[in-house]
Structure 1
Amino acid sequence: MGLLDSLKARLGPAKGKVSDLAHRHGDKAHHGVDKAAKVVDEKTKGTYSDSIHTGADKAKGAVDRVAHKDEPSTGRGDTFVPPTPPSPPSPPPAS
């Protein structure tokens, strides 16, 4: 068994717990990310403000993905839906 297989086997049971925690406490995680982003932005005196906010948004998105991973698809792009093929043209009228 390789290192990655061993790691996956050990972390498998924690996956559900992490998802449950993210689902129950997502609002607190979002608040923590916002608070950390604010502190970092203040420490850098706004120099990296755009990058900090982009990173914070990505972190909050990751929390949301973990929290909703086991829920059914919401149609927000979670699954691929193939486009509907165009309908064939109608035949010309008979004379």
Structure 2
Amino acid sequence: MSIFDKAKEALNSEKAEQVSDQALDRAEALAKSKAGAEHHDKISGVRDSIDKQVGTE
């Protein structure tokens, strides 16, 4: 197995999914703390959209 195959496998692992979800959750929480309550739904929508693009599930 080449180093590129190993890297691809690592990026598609459950651990990588957990790390990306944690980062997105933190970013969402930070954005919500800075924005007004009227923007919370939009922020959550953006977070979900990004998760679909980078997530493995």
Common topology (TM > 0.5): yes
SS at match of 1:48: helix
Work out the percentage of aligned pairs sharing the same amino acid. Answer: 16
**Which aligned pairs between 1:53-64 and structure 2 lie closer than 5 A?**
53-64=44-55
1:44 aligned partner: 35
* SS across alignment from 1:35: helix
Indicate the RMSD between aligned Cα atoms, in angstroms.
Answer: 2.2
What are the ranges of 5 or more consecutive residues in structure 1 without an aligned counterpart?
A: 1-13, 69-95
Rg comparison, structure with higher value = 1
- Of structures 1 and 2, the one with the larger relative CO (CA 8 A, separation 6+) is 2
Q: CA–CA distance in 2 between the matches of 1:62 and 1:34?
A: 15
Shift of 1:18: 5.7
Matches of 1:63 and 1:17, distance apart in 2: 15
Residue 29 (str. 1) matches residue 38 (str. 2): no
* Misfit runs of 4+, over 3 Å: 16-20
